[in-house]
Structure 1
Amino acid sequence: MALEHINEDPNILPNYRLRIDWRDTQCSLGHGLKGVIELITTEPVKTMLLGPACSLVAMPAAATLEYWNLLQVGNSALSDSLSDKEYYKYFYRTNPPSSAMNPPRLAILGEFDWNRVAIIHENNEYFANHFDITKEYLRSHGIDIVTSESFDAGQVPREQLRNMKDKDARIIFASAYIEPASILFCEIYKQSMYGKRYVWIIESWLDPGWWELNLHVHNCTVEEMREVASLHVGVDFLGIFPIQDVTISGLTPNEYEDIYYNRTNQQQLPGEEYAPYAYDGLWTIAMVLNETQTHLEQTNSSFSILDFDYNNTHHIRELFENSIKNLNFKGISGTIQFNRNGDRFGNIKVEQLIDNELVTIGIYYQNGELVWESEKRITFKGDIPIDGALYETVYIGIRPVIYFIFSSLSAVGVIVACAFLVFNIKNRKRKLIRLSSPNVNNVIATGCIVCYGSVMLFGLDQNIVESNMYITLCMLRAWTLSIGYSMAFGGLFLKTWRVYLIFRNLKIKKKVVQDWHLFGLLTILLLIDLIYLFVWSMINPFFKETKTFPPEIVNQDLILLKKKDSCDCKQLVQWTVALYVYKGLIMLYGAKLAWETRKVSMQELNDSKYIGLSIYNVAIIVSIAVPLTYVLEDEPEVVYSLVAVAILYTTTCTMCLVFVPKIIVLRGTESDTEVTVTTFNRSRAVAPETFTVSIEERVKQKEHELQKLRRDMMMQKEFTDTVHRPVSIKCDADVPSVGNINTSSAASNVVI
């Protein structure tokens, strides 16, 4: 048909008549090469070659014809290998290559936000090369290739499909010739990999109704094949350009179709989808010959296109090449223009099998635009499928309600500590408070406040704190808890150390331990903390470690990917253990002091009983909480709860044991009934250190209670002897006496 139209056109090759000498290659390599050899070895000399139709024959033919200087124009060879100009120098084609399917495939994926695809194809050179290019193209556009499988012709791809199913592949590209495609879709049916969760996108250039053909190669029925093939999506070249412009032949695409079907008696012939490309291919050859002859005439050359020979004696082949590279005209299949690879960008149609009939649902034009025939775009058996189970990243952290509870409790603790601090400062001149080292008590309360603050810091996680602040948070946790512990328990232990020096260590006499001595020792403890933490931060600084847990399948469409951020550093265990050992030694020494001073019965001086209770609380809680935090490290909320409870409980108990007894005593003490102990230096008088104890109720007790007071007085004498101060006794009233304690029913003072 094209030959007739060309020869009838007076503007194309005037004074020349185009002839075709053809051979049937049967898509066979042997038959194809035999035909090519016959054509080039028989008269007359062939000017150009149209075809062969199959890539299997076109590739060796193109590689061979180079040595005869023959240009070759393909019309249905799809192999992407033919785009390689290094091997196929003189090959051009009017049909797009297989890789032209990739832009519309990508456009379809983009329409439905699909980013994961799987690939399965028949195992041969054509499909392997095509999908290698496809995978590279898709990956370059951010598409994740879940898996790529291949199977031999005649093989049932059972394992390949099972692997795709295990990897949750749902959007699948498939390609094969008719028989392998039938086997593939039968196995798809058996493995239930179709329906509302799957989308199969294939190259639909196979024969019409291919899913119902070749039933003998598998054991699926026609009904089963129809069911599995239903609603599959196909992409294929659009041979007939949909816009009805007049083409180079003077026909519109519709007029061409009318003429074509008149000649075929309205029958659809196999391979007719490539007929427009063959039509345009012959017109391409005619246009190249026409342009070359025109050029030769315009340059007054003595040669014509008839002077072409296989040795390219007159360099006419170069003129053919130059003409075909600059070619640009409207053909039946669209604009004919070749790129540097000898390919053209054709139009691609998107089809779908609806009611057992392939329906064109969209067209991908050469300009990169995908136009759908309807707003529905693609018909699905349900909602738009997703490309795989959704991976929802969940950071395991601390629920706001848990953090709010413990932060609130911590805030209450801070308020109570501040109240105790105010109480201590306000009553610092009261004799009972002054006796109990109020300045050290202030340090203890401040340390408790710092410990309470650490509870709030431990509750901050990646859901609250920005990533760049997380490392700073890690450091603050370690510093606040360590320093707060040293201030609270260090102050408590140092108070007991002073009592120990005065009443139990008989070798150290004549030694007056004042508050500045205690603050000096406390400063040393804090300096040790600061130096240790600073060295730790310099040698092995903290960093944020993100741990990803195994995926948790919620349902077929949702998978939870849990992550957890935590503070970590090199040799974290070693640094932490060393800190625990150091704090533990301080606690053990405090326990020793408490034991040594347990019989000192002056309530104002001795906190040994309360220290013992504090150490007991800390030891029990820490021995339970610390191991559990390591065992349950993958449960941040549980770990935080354990740490928060441990800090809140031990800090609150310690603080209450220090301050609550004093509050109770002060509330029950009357100012006019007291025991006063005043000490003097032998050489000069100094400011008195006064210890006050209420005796109003004691004078009314029995003799064994008076004996207890006698023991207290003996200890007071010991204390006086320690600092070498004289003893004088003065009785202001005649009252009955028991031992060396004078009492009176009226208000009276015993001054020692």
Structure 2
Amino acid sequence: MHGADSRDTTDTYIIHVVKLLIQTLITPKQCDPGEATKLLYDLLYTEPIKIVLMPGCSSVSTLVAEAARMWNLIVFSYGSSSPALSNRQRFPTFFRTHPSATLHNPTRVHLFQKWNWNKIATIQQTTEVFTSTLDDLEQRVKEAGIEISVRQSFLTDPAVAVKNLKRQDARIIVGLFYETEARKVYKEKLYGKKYVWFLIGWYADNWFKIKDPSINCTMEQMTEAVEGHVTTEIVMLNPETVRGASNLTSQEFLAQLMSRLGGKNPEETGGFQEAPLAYDAVWALALALNKTVAPLRAKGRRLEDFNYNNQDITAEIYRALNTSSFEGVSGHVVFDAQGSRMAWTLIEQLQGGSYKKIGYYDSTKGNLSWYRNDKWIGGDPPRDQTVVLEEVRFLSQKLFVSVSVFAGLGIILGIVCLTFNIYNSNIRYIQNSQPYLNNITVVGCVLALAAVFPLGIDGLHVHRSRFPVVCQLRLWLLGLGFSLAYGSMFTKIWWVHTVFTKKEEKKEKRRHLEPWKLYATVGVLLAIDVLSLMIWQIVDPLRLTLETFTKEDPKGDLDFLIQPVLEHCSSEKMNTWLGVVYGYKGLLLLLGIFLAYETKSISTEKINDHRAVGMAIYNVAVLCMITAPVTMILSSQQDASFAFASLAIVFSVYITLVVLFVPKMRRLIMRGEWQSEQQDTLKTGSSTNNNDEEKSRQLERENRELQKIIQEACLSMSFCMSILLDYAHVLWWQKEERVTELRNQLAERQALRARKPASCQNQNQNHSVPPLASSEPPGYSPGTEQHSVPPSFSNNSTLYQGEGKLSRNHCHNSRLPLLYK
């Protein structure tokens, strides 16, 4: 239709639509679905027949639009923004001049990217419009590479949800809720220079100034709380001076609207912001109805023929609305395939208690018109999250340098002791202290002192990629140093204990322990450590680990937190490995203490410094047993841990070197033994010095062989002597028997002579044999038959030993002189 008739017809349709609109808005509870249901029933069953319904709120539009298709009614909304209403299968006859709430999301994402925010949080009221909007936002930010760190929701009370946002350090917060709940959210005091809220733009401009009995906040407090928040809203008033279908510019429309309000404050007038959308909605519907006149006339029908069972007229109205395109007071009016308005987005910020336009965004073209008048507390947009700055706790360099100086001096002392020991190795006093073992002790002490330097090296000196090398260096230097230093001292004290605390018959066998056995003992201890360390590093190598501490809040900066960290050398099963190593070393230390105590009263020239070795073992054992657990407890305190461990190493080494070598130096210097020994060495020649030890060992072997031969000869002589003594004993008894027989014969003759007359006795005296000597045989006693054995042939004589009493003890080697001195 054209000309005046067209204008009149359109005006007629507009008047009819406005009447319907007024009927829809008569209820004071326009966003109550229950009231909307009752009103819909009244409209459907009250004359005249309605051709179009125009609800306002999304909750009402959802109910009305889903039911309207049953009566073939077109539903046209001016204030519904729920994304769910874009579902054509559920709402096939729904149109709206208010764009979908999802149209805000491209604008929000663009602002996030503009202000370099990669982490946001959301809080929503649990209604369909906000849930569907948030689902769309979540999909869009995910595509843009932005993270939603926290997503909270609430039904009526947002207190718990806001507390969760605080707990999760939410900074950039998108809030989707009605203005009443918005006041409750700000009551929870989640605001300030480090927070930015994105709210819905269709609140009343003074929503935060409205007195709410449920909120104990003054208007000044609420104004302070909401300062700086950003809103996105569909452009509801065309910013350009363009005359559209209504022959009015946006400013002329606004002036007429203000005159109709009669001086009322627009901020206190509900629906004031949506007025241009409602005006354009009426015009869109009128133009669509006007567009259907010709097609319906061609079919012999009119709009007045519409009833709730007529689908043809509804289809023509749907087609006319779907192809609508005109300039309205809210801007260019056009609908997408889902019946939603395509429009620009207005970006505003609350500055000084009032909203200021800071830009526009055209989502169809992705263009942002920016005014550069955004203001922030502190001057710049806040960060999207608290920036955690890692602060490595480094070792105090003064402490490191001080301990390193002592360690360096200890290494020099070790070199001096090693040089002294090697230079004077030909002196008998030094030789009797097992100088090679002392040299091993010095080397171990130097390695242990060298371990102090990597113990103090941290990220301040080397890059983290090379830190595992430092970890390996610490472990190997300290492990090998302990094995060599303590192992050599342990070997000495063990040898002394083995030789001088055993029974007499076993001592001889152990007294001649060759030096290679001592070195082999040290080698075994060293091999055990090397093997265990190799297995450790192959199976579970040491690597850099970071120990984190409680975050610290720097003064005057709300966007940063300090995260203290401490670098450690560790592995996955560190405690297991340390338990094995500490257990093995602990047993060695305890055994060393026991052996040192057992040998404290022994004096020997073979190892003349074993008492000093015992003192060194006491020192090392006590310091190690204290240091190991204390350093584990103080592992989180880098200065204390390093000081305790390094000083324990330094003191152990210093005491060991001083105890072992200072007495030797003092003796050689004070007594001058080194001079006489050196003069003897010059006379005998250097070749003799080199072969003395070998000759000594050879003479010892020859001496032991000769002792065995002498013992065997002694046994043979004892056996022969026993045979000779037995033969002499037999001869002596034969002699005794003969003497007894002669005595008996003499007694008989004397008896016969006594019976003859005296004359015969006198006569016979001149011719008789001279009487036997009156001397009696040794051991003869008249009147007794017992005769004593001469002392020289007594069984108790030392010259006589029975077979049963012969033993090797009567040829004891203590009675045999050694063949060499």
Q: TM-score, normalised by structure 2?
A: 0.67
What does residue range 174-323 of structure 1 map to in structure 2 within 5 Å?
174=175, 176-177=177-178, 179=180, 181=182, 187=187, 201-214=198-211, 226=223, 228=225, 232-243=229-240, 253-254=250-251, 257=254, 268=266, 270-282=270-282, 317=315
Asked if the contact 1:51–1:76 (Cα under 8 Å) also holds between the matched residues in 2, the reply is no
**Matched letter for residue 36 of structure 2:** G
Residue 583 of structure 1: how far off its partner (Å): 1.9
Match of 2:60 in 1: 57
Q: Distance in 1 between matches of 2:96 and 2:690?
A: 115
Q: Which residue of 1 aligns with 2:654?
A: 652
Q: Which residue of 2 aligns with 1:346?
A: 343
**Compared CA separation, residues 657 and 233, structure 1 to 2 (3 A):** same
Q: Is the 8 A contact 2:432 2:608 kept in 1?
A: no
* Aligned 8 A contact 1:182 1:214 in 2: no
- The residue correspondences of 1:657-696 to structure 2 (distance < 5 A) are 657-665=659-667, 667=669, 669=672, 672-674=675-677, 687-689=691-693
The answer for the alignment partner of 1:617 in structure 2 is 619
Secondary structure (helix, strand or coil) at the match of 1:96 reads coil
* 1:483 aligned to which of 480, 486, 494: 480
Question: Residue 78 of structure 2 contacts residue 98 of structure 2 at CA under 8 Å; is this kept in 1?
Answer: yes
- Compute the displacement of 1:82 (Å): 2.0
Q: Residues of 1 paired with 2:498 and 2:218: CA distance?
A: 101
Return the offset for 1:399: 3.9
Check conservation: 2:109, 2:140, Cα contact below 8 A: no
Q: Where does residue 371 of structure 2 map in the other structure?
A: 373
Aligned partner of 1:80 in structure 2 is 83
- 1:427 Cα deviation after fit: 5.4
- Indicate if the aligned counterparts of 1:237 and 1:349 stay in contact, CA closer than 8 A: yes
Aligned counterparts, 1:117-132, within 5 A: 126-127=129-130, 130=133
Distance 2:690 2:404 in 1: 48
Distance 1:96 1:361 in 2: 20
CA distance in 1, matches of 2:546, 2:538: 22
Amino acid at match of 1:610: A
Deviations 1:75-124 (A, max 9, x none): 21022332344533443433223343344445555565666766666665
Check the 8 A contact 2:331/2:343 in 1, yes or no: yes
Q: What is the rounded CA distance, in whole Å, between the counterparts of 1:430 and 1:9 in structure 2? A: 135
For residue 93 of structure 1, what is the aligned residue in structure 2?
96
| Cα distance change, pair 527–381 in 1 and its aligned pair in 2 (3 A) | closer
Secondary structure at the residue paired with 1:688?
Answer: helix
Distance 1:435 1:358, change over 3 A: same
Contact 2:238–2:330 (8 Å) recurs in 1: yes
CA apart distance, 1:58:
0.4
**Counterparts of 1:624 and 1:531, CA distance in 2:** 26
- Distance in 1 between the 2:587 and 2:210 partners? 86
Question: Could you say what the CA RMSD is over the residues aligned between the two structures, in angstroms?
Answer: 5.2
Residue 442 of structure 2 aligns to a residue whose secondary structure is helix
Aligned residue type for 1:380: I
- In the alignment, the residues of structure 2 paired with residue 624 and residue 413 of structure 1 have an alpha-carbon distance, to the nearest angstrom, of 21
Unaligned runs of 5+ in 1: 678-684, 692-715, 728-750
Instruction: Find the counterpart in structure 1 of residue 517 from structure 2.
Output: 517
Q: Secondary structure at the match of 1:689?
A: helix
**Cα displacement (A) at 1:576:** 2.6
8 Å CA contact retained: 2:72, 2:314: no
For the structure 1 residues 182 and 647, does the alpha-carbon distance in structure 2 shift closer, same or farther, using more than 3 Å as the test?
closer
Aligned-residue offset at 1:159: 6.5
Q: Aligned AA for 1:58?
A: S
What CA deviation, in whole Å up to 9, does each residue of 1:360-405 have, x standing for no partner? Answer: 2333443455544344x12538876666765444444534444444
Provide the residue aligned with 1:712 in structure 2: none
Partners of 1:477 and 1:86 lie apart in 2 by 72
| Matched positions, count | 680
Cα distance, 1:529 vs. partner? 1.8
Match of 1:640 among 617, 628, 642: 642
Q: Deviations over 1:380-436 (max 9, x none)?
A: 388766667654444445344444444454444445444544555555556665554
Kindly provide the amino acid, as one letter, of the partner of residue 24 in structure 2: D
Q: 1:608 aligns with which of 602, 607, 610?
A: 610
Which letter maps to 1:32? A
CA distance in 1, matches of 2:387, 2:3: 59
Instruction: Name the residue aligned to 2:491.
Output: 494
> 1:32 aligns to what?
36
> Following TM superposition, by how much is the alpha carbon of 1:490 offset from its aligned partner in structure 2, in angstroms?
1.1
Tell me, yes or no, if the aligned pair for 2:427 and 2:677 is still in contact at 8 Å. Answer: no
Please tell me whether the aligned partners of residues 74 and 314 of structure 2 are also in contact (alpha carbons under 8 angstroms): no
* Residues 720 and 173 of structure 1: CA distance in aligned 2, closer, same or farther (over 3 Å): same
What is the rounded CA distance, in whole Å, between the counterparts of 1:301 and 1:427 in structure 2?
131
Range with bigger deviation, 300-309 or 239-248:
300-309
- Residue 448 (structure 2) pairs with residue 451 (structure 1): yes
> Within 2, Cα distance between the matches of 1:36 and 1:198?
44
Whole-angstrom CA distance in 2 between matches of 1:363 and 1:502: 99
CA distance in 2, matches of 1:418, 1:686: 24
Q: What are the residue-to-residue correspondences of 1:719-730 with 2, within 5 Å? A: 724=704
The Cα offsets for residues 480-512 of structure 1, whole Å up to 9 and x where unpaired, read as: 322221112112333445556676666254665
Does the CA contact (< 8 Å) of 1:50 and 1:282 recur in 2? no
1:522-564 deviation per Cα after TM superposition (whole angstroms, max 9, x unaligned): 2222222233334445666656655444445566836544444
Residue in 1 that maps onto 2:751? none
For the Cα contact (< 8 Å) 1:196–1:382, is it kept in 2? no
- 3-state SS of the aligned residue for 2:274? helix
Over 3 Å counting, the alpha-carbon distance change for 1:686 and 1:58 in structure 2 is closer
Q: 2:82 is matched by which residue type in structure 1?
A: S
Identical-residue share of aligned pairs (%):
28
Q: Report the CA distance between 1:54 and its aligned residue.
A: 0.9
Residue 648 of structure 1, CA deviation: 2.3
Residues 1:360 and 2:362 are matched in the alignment: no
Change (3 A) 1:456 1:324: farther
Could you tell me whether the CA contact under 8 Å between 2:424 and 2:674 is conserved in 1?
Answer: no
Q: In 2, Cα distance between the equivalents of 1:229 and 1:283?
A: 37
Q: State how far apart, in whole Å, the 1-side matches of 2:94 and 2:522 are.
A: 91
Specify which of 567, 574, 581 is matched with residue 583 of structure 2. Answer: 581
CA contact (8 A) 1:590 1:611 kept: no
TM-superposed deviation, 1:608:
1.3
Matched letter for residue 52 of structure 1: P
Q: Check conservation: 1:80, 1:97, Cα contact below 8 A.
A: yes
Report the residue type matching 1:611 in the other structure: V
AA in 2 matched with 1:687:
N
The TM-score, its normalising length taken from structure 1, stands at 0.72
Distance of aligned partners of 1:722 and 1:471 in 2 relative to their CA distance in 1, 3 Å threshold: farther
Provide, for residues 410-468 of structure 1, a one-character-per-residue CA deviation record: whole Å limited to 9, x for no partner.
Answer: 44444544454455555555666555444444433332233233333333456666566
Q: Which amino acid aligns with 1:639?
A: S
User: 1:150-165 counterparts in 2 under 5 A?
Assistant: 150=154, 152=156
Q: In the alignment, which of 111, 133, 148 is matched to residue 152 of structure 2?
A: 148
Q: For 1:222 and 1:180, locate their aligned partners in 2 and report how far apart those are by CA, in whole Å.
A: 16
Distance apart, 1:568 and its partner CA: 4.7
Q: What is the distance in 1 between the residues matched to 2:467 and 2:3?
A: 80
Contact 2:496 2:610 in 1 (8 A): no
Q: Which residue of 2 aligns with 1:736?
A: none
Where structure 2 has 5 or more consecutive residues not aligned to the other structure, the ranges are 682-688, 708-819
Distance in 1 of aligned mates of 2:356 and 2:599: 98
